[in-house]
Amino acid sequence: MAKTHSMRMMRYSLACMLVAVFSTAGLAGASAKKPYPTVNMLRHGWQLSFVWHKPHRIYVAVGHGVSRKLREYWFMRYTVTNNTHRDIFFIPGFVLTTDTGKVLRPITGVVPRVLDKIRTVTGDQFIISPGLIAGKLLQGDDNAKDGVAVFAGVPVKARRFKIFVSGLSGDTALQKNPLTHKNVVLHKTLELSFWMPGESVRMTPRPQFAGKKWVMR
Question: Which residue, among 57, 204, 27, has the nearest Cα to 118 in the 3D structure?
Answer: 57
Angstrom distance (rounded) from CA 208 to CA 54: 8
Looking at the structure of the chain, the number of domains it has is 2
Query: Residue 191: its pLDDT value, please?
Result: 97
- The reply to whether 12 and 90 lie within a common domain is no
Query: Residue 41: its pLDDT value, please?
Result: 64
- The reply to whether 29 and 44 lie within a common domain is no
For the stretch 59-94, pLDDT in tens is 998 877 777 889 999 999 999 999 999 999 999 999
- The reply to whether 149 and 75 lie within a common domain is yes
- The reply to whether 44 and 16 lie within a common domain is no
φ, ψ of residue 200 in degrees (nearest 5): -100, 10
CATH number at residue 55: 2.60.40
- The reply to whether 153 and 122 lie within a common domain is yes
pLDDT of 215 > 70? The answer is yes
- The reply to whether 138 and 195 lie within a common domain is yes
For the stretch 148-202, pLDDT in tens is 999 999 998 899 999 999 999 999 988 888 888 899 989 999 999 999 886 545 5
Q: Which range of residues forms the domain containing residue 13?
A: 1-33
- The reply to whether 51 and 140 lie within a common domain is yes
